[in-house]
Amino acid sequence: MADVAKWDDSSELSLVQALLRMKPSPLRRTTLLEALEMSRAEVPQSLFLAWLLGPQGPLTDCWLLKEIFETAVSSTAVSSVPWPGMPQSVLPEVQVETERPDVVVTWDSFRLIVEYKVDSPEGKYQVSRYLDTFRITNARDGMVVYLTPTGKWPTSVKEEDRRGRIYPLSFDQLIGAINRGLNSGLEKNERGKAMVAEYRDCLRCVLNRSINMEKPVISEATKLLSQNHEHFERLLTAAKQEAADMINYAALQAEKEMRSIIVPDMVVTLMESWGYFMFRRPEWVAGELEYGFTYGSEGKPGSRTMNQYEHNIAIRVQPIERGTNGGPKQKALAESLRAAIWPHIPGKPDRWLNQWFAYCKDVPLKAGDDWDKWTENMVRELGQLGRCLTKHIDDFAARFKLP
């Protein structure tokens, strides 16, 4: 291993520092859809294929559509259906009755349906429903091309019940059709050649292979991670637990501060699943709703590292009992409370949110920040908000009635 990767195995800090000194290998994104992070996304791929197949796309004379059509028809028992010529339309995501197939190609008296799968299974009776919805009784009415990485037969149609209506097409077969078209010169336009080649290479990416794939570069960082992955998992688990402990500590400091401002018998509500700690007077309630000052960590403690939480201080409205739906009453309360405190809020509010908040201010914790100093600043800001607004919330509580 290179010198930069050396570390003292008696020190966890030494291990992390060695890793941080390394540069990771650059991400290998060799195709257009990889660059757009769509190489395993079904909908973008089917949209791209519909564009390639149609007369509105970049390919000359719909040659790829013709390749698929003639290959599909020749594989069936009814092989006398001639190429119908240029289609009237090639449309993605067409809604017909209750169905929404990925691609629908329409001619005067023939329809070609493409159902596109990457990772997902066939929906319940999906292909069978398409045959019924589009009234495809035999190969002269139309055909469903079931396009999958392996070219498997759809589960909703018995394999012996072919009748020329189903054609299972694999990514390999589609790659072959593209290569035949390119090699035989069917595409004259350079843009068309480039676009269909990008799509072909995306299919290869899904199949995890590439004719021109170079040997990958394995960085020293990857080697070190691989050798010590269990140790790093333990470090990450400890970091998440320490973040949860720190959030609880910050909430406790906030509680001490707010208890000195509100009243000694202040009500404290912990909504752990939401990551909120509320501090209020006993009378700050309206029906099944409560409202008061909160410190929030936007997520259940223990699920992230400290700087990954979205921390905030707020004046919040929420149901007293977990699971209660506040609905319109909660929204009315939040809006009325917001109007009451608006003239008295120090500085301009960061953001108004939804029915849960009358006021909310972000107090971000960035990677590398001093956690103790951040906690002191958060508690101080919450205390300033409490000193400024407690009296006005008291006045609101005395007069507000739920509609």
At 383-393, the pLDDT tens digits run: 999 999 999 99
**Burial level of 264, CB count in 10 A (0-12/13-18/19+)?**
exposed
Percent of the chain with pLDDT over 70: 86
- DSSP per residue over 315-362, as a string? EEEEESSTT---HHHHHHHHHHHHHHHGGG-SS--SB--STTEEEEEE
Are the CB atoms for 45 and 116 separated by under 8 Å?
A: yes
Per residue in 296-319, pLDDT (tens digit) is: 988 777 788 888 888 999 999 999
Rg (CA), the chain: 31
What predicted TM-score, i.e. pTM, was given to this entire model? 0.56
**For residue 6, pLDDT beyond 60:** no
State the alpha helices, DSSP H only, in 134-170: none
Residue 152, SS3 per DSSP:
coil
State the alpha helices, DSSP H only, in 21-75: 32-35, 42-53, 63-74
Angle at 52 between CA 47 and CA 56, to 5 degrees: 95
Q: Write out the two tokens for 238.
A: 């400890």
Tell me the average pLDDT of the chain: 84
Least confident window among 161-165, 187-191, 225-229, 335-339: 161-165
